Amino acid sequence: MSELGAWRKSSRSAGAGQCVEVARTTAVVGVRDSKAPHAGHLQVPNASFVAFLDAVKR
C-alpha cells in the first residue's frame, strides 16, 4: 500500500459523523469511513477518482 498523506473530511460535512475521509498521493486516493478509520481504507487510482467525482457532479 502507498503511504497516504493527511486524511481530510469534506468541507460540506455536517459534523454528524456521517462522512468519508480522503487522502492522496501522486498516484492514488484513499477513501475511508470517518466513524471507523481503524477498519482500513480503499485505494483507487487518481484518474478513477476524478472520473467518479465528475460523474457524481452531473
pTM beyond 0.85: the answer is: no
Strand pairing report for 20-24 and 42-45:
unpaired
Domain boundaries, the chain: 8-57
What does the pLDDT look like over 18-54, one tens digit per residue?
A: 788 999 999 999 999 888 889 999 999 999 999 999 9
